[in-house]
Structure 1
Amino acid sequence: MGRILAIDYGTKRTGLAVTDEMQIIASGLTTVETKDLLVFLKDYTVSENVVKFVVGEPKQMDNTASESEVFIQKFLKQLAKVIPEIPVERVDERFTSKMAFQTMIDGGLKKKQRQNKALIDEISATLILQSYLSSKS
């Protein structure tokens, strides 16, 4: 089948999560500095069988696009040029950062560990991917 890779895009850091080859389990992959993201994705897709990108779509409570959507659209254009063979789907990512933080609390992480923004981004990407997988089953 191939892996699905989720992207929680941020202007500084971007959280990444990936499925197993059977697309059953979503796992955090890493957090990458956004300036290095396209190079990382290109290298990763050369070594792993990625069949789809799932990119978080931040929305306001009234369902309009958030301010960060401008940056995400720019990134999506660059991604389509660098890796045109892998399709992209968007997933509503409202509340994923709050859910990621709560997941860290529920998991017993200490306050110092919960301040790790890179970990929050990676967990957010995992939640986006899990949401996508749940919507498909």
Structure 2
Amino acid sequence: MARILALDYGQKRTGVAVTDELQIIASGLTTVPTENLLKFLKEYTSGESVELILIGEPKQMNNNASESEVYIQKFIKELEKEIPSIPYKRVDERFTSKMAFQSMIQSGLKKKQRMNKGLIDEISATIILQSFLNLK
């Protein structure tokens, strides 16, 4: 089997998570400056077998798209052009940042470590991916 990647897309940086080859466990991979995201994905997918890319879909409480959706749509068009062989799916990402922050507290990370926004993005991507795996 091939891996599944998940992205918690942000204007400045994007959290990336990946499954194991059996698609059982979601693990945080890294946080990438968003301006380098396509380059990172092309390099990663050239060396690893990836069958699907999940992209977080930020929604407001009333189910409307968030303001960042404009940037995500632009990225998706570039992704389709640069890596057309790998399909993508959108996954509701409401509350993932709050869940990520809460998991950092529960795991005992110090306040200074919890201020690391890149780590929050990576954990958020992991939560997006694990919730997708739970529904599979």
AA aligned to 1:7 is: L
In structure 2, what is the equivalent of residue 68 of structure 1?
Answer: 68
Q: In the aligned structure 1, how far is the partner of 2:23 from the partner of 2:90?
A: 17
Query: How far is the alpha carbon of 1:135 from its aligned partner?
Result: 1.2
* Structural mapping, 1:20-35, within 5 Å: 20-35=20-35
Q: In the aligned structure 2, how far is the partner of 1:61 from the partner of 1:92?
A: 11
In structure 1, what is the equivalent of residue 112 of structure 2?
Answer: 112
**TM-score of the superposed pair, with normalisation by structure 1:** 0.99
Query: How far is the alpha carbon of 1:29 from its aligned partner?
Result: 0.2
Q: Which runs of 5+ in 1 are unaligned?
A: none
Task: Kindly report the root-mean-square deviation, in angstroms, between the aligned alpha carbons of the 2 structures.
Answer: 0.4
Q: Which runs of 5+ in 2 are unaligned?
A: none
Displaced runs of 4 or more, over 6 A: none
* Structural mapping, 1:1-137, within 5 Å: 1-136=1-136
AA aligned to 2:64 is: T
AA aligned to 1:48 is: E
Equivalent pairs counted in the alignment come to 136
AA aligned to 1:11 is: Q
**TM-score of the superposed pair, with normalisation by structure 2:** 0.99
Percentage of matched positions with identical amino acids: 73
